[in-house]
């Protein structure tokens, strides 16, 4: 054993308080908690409030399941661009969003019905829509957690959801403006 250690004193290694093991699963969650505790997004927005605004629109993913490589790549690339623009002196406003309507969500609910032996026609439209909303809410939260674990900086407290009643009303309002401006009556 002494032969193995006889050269230890001849090696100059840096001294550090950092662990030799990264322990990433624990560190990742601690970092996310720390960012939330210090309200990192709010602080960066406060620092950049007088800068020229840079808006990178977020084409929303469907809220119908876990994120996949395409959704992760999309968000990470947008995050890289926003961080670069912050470093260039802009105020990047990144409001994440989710598409909470449409066939992907309805298809999942119908699939669940089939597993239980129901048909879509057996359920009222009101109940079907409510189940779709609840399903979307679950996946919005799960995807949000996944994007946080990718360290994507965004306004996660105020996302836009296409199922938000105010958003739906605003979309209809804007559509009616377009309609009445361009369509002669």
The CATH superfamily label for domain 25-152+162-167 reads HUPs (3.40.50.620)
For position 24, what pLDDT does the model report?
84
For position 181, what pLDDT does the model report?
87
For position 59, what pLDDT does the model report?
86
For position 70, what pLDDT does the model report?
96
Q: What is the pLDDT along the chain (185 residues), one digit of tens a residue?
A: 567 778 878 888 788 887 778 888 888 899 999 999 999 999 999 999 999 999 998 889 999 999 999 999 999 999 999 999 999 999 999 999 999 998 999 999 999 999 999 888 889 999 999 999 999 999 999 999 999 999 999 999 999 999 999 988 998 999 999 898 887 76
Please give the full DSSP string across the chain, using - where no structure is assigned.
-HHHHTTGGG------SS-SS--HHHHHHHHHHHHHHHTHHHHHHHHTTTSPEEE---PPPBSSS---HHHHHHHHHHHHHHHHHHHTT-EEE---EEB--SHHHHHHHHHHHHHHT--GGGS-HHHHHHHHHHHHHHHHHHHHHHHHHTT--S-TTS-EETT-HHHHHHHHHHHHHHHHHHS--
The domain limits of the chain are 25-152+162-167
């Amino acid at each position: 054993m002494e032969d193995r250690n006889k050269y230890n004193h001849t090696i100059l290694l840096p001294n550090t308080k950092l662990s030799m093991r990264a322990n990433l699963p624990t560190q990742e969650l601690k970092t996310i908690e720390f960012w939330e505790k210090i309200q990192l997004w709010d602080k960066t927005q406060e620092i950049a409030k007088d800068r020229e605004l840079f808006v990178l629109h977020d084409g929303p993913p469907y809220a119908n399941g876990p994120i996949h490589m395409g959704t992760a790549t999309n968000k990470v690339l947008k995050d890289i661009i926003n961080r670069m623009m912050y470093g260039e002196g802009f105020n990047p406003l990144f409001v994440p969003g989710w598409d909470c309507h449409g066939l992907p969500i309805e298809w999942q609910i119908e699939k669940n019905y089939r597993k239980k032996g129901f048909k879509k026609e057996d359920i009222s439209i009101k109940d079907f829509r409510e189940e779709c909303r609840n399903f979307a809410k679950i996946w919005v939260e799960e995807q949000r957690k996944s994007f946080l674990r990718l360290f994507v900086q965004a306004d996660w407290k105020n996302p836009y959801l296409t199922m938000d009643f105010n958003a739906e009303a605003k979309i209809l309002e804007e559509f009616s403006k377009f309609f009445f401006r361009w369509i002669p009556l």
